[in-house]
Chains A and B, each alone.
Chain A
């Protein structure tokens, strides 16, 4: 069964500092991976996605993520964090199933706090 682990429940960084949010997955084949961001009281917004090809993917808002098959990881990074990046971040793995359906498994999320 597929699973996603986000080992950090809560992270605090200073504005302007770099950020790395960890995500480890368990899946038997090549995974489809996503990162989402959720502001308080809002839905989830897609930041970036990995399907295949280049293992470093660029997303919106200056985020990027690197797929490392050997480590079963898909960590999210940003070189310089802005106060507006304070939110909760979710990693997800998707596997296609028969009948046009797909199984989506989310991690439990990492809450990011940005301090001045």
Chain B
């Protein structure tokens, strides 16, 4: 069966510090991968998605970037965090088109 791992579960970082959140998927190959952010009262916002190694698409301009160095690894990064980057970050995977997303347990990021 497929599993998705996301870490860390919680993170407190000062403004201006770098960020690296990691997500890995097991039990499948060549999945679509996604990063979402969930801010209080604002629902789920798609940040990045990837259909293959090195293929990253960004949905919104922001202070964040994503990379997919391996087939089942998806990394969310920032060089300098802003207060507005605080939120709950969710990684997800899916098979190809028209299939449901499967989510990790999320990372609660607090920028102080």
A residues at B contact (CB < 8 Å): 32, 34, 36, 41-46, 49, 51, 90, 92, 94, 96-97, 99-102, 104, 106-109
**Structural contact, A102 and B94, CB atoms closer than 8 A:** yes
Contacting residues, chain A, for B49 (C-beta < 8 A):
101
Q: Are B100 and A99 in contact (CB under 8 A)?
A: no
* Residues A108 and B106 in contact, CB atoms below 8 Å apart: no
Considering only residues 66-112 of chain B, those with a C-beta below 8 Å from chain A are 90, 92, 94, 96-106, 108
Q: Which residues of chain B have C-beta atoms less than 8 A from A96's C-beta?
A: 97-98
Interface residues contributed by chain B, number (CB under 8 Å) = 25
Which of B46, B101, B103 has the most chain A CB atoms inside 10 A of its CB?
B101
CA of A32 to CA of B6 in the docked complex: distance in angstroms? Answer: 26
A100 touching B32, Cβ below 8 Å = yes
Are B51 and A101 neighbours in the complex by a CB distance under 8 Å? Answer: yes
Nearest-CB distance from A38 to chain B (Å)? 8
Q: Would you call A44 and B90 a contact (CB within 8 A)?
A: yes
B104 touches A43 (CB 8 A): yes
Q: Determine the chain B residues whose CB is within 8 A of the CB of A109 once the complex forms.
A: 43
Of all chain B residues, the one with the shortest Cβ separation from A104 is B101
Q: How far is the CA of A41 from the CA of B108 in the complex (A)?
A: 8
Q: B44 contacts the other chain (Cβ, under 8 Å)?
A: yes
B96 surroundings in chain A (CB, below 8 A) = 100, 102
Residues of A near B92 (CB, < 8 A) are 43-44
A46 — which chain B residues lie within 8 A by C-beta?
A: 100-102
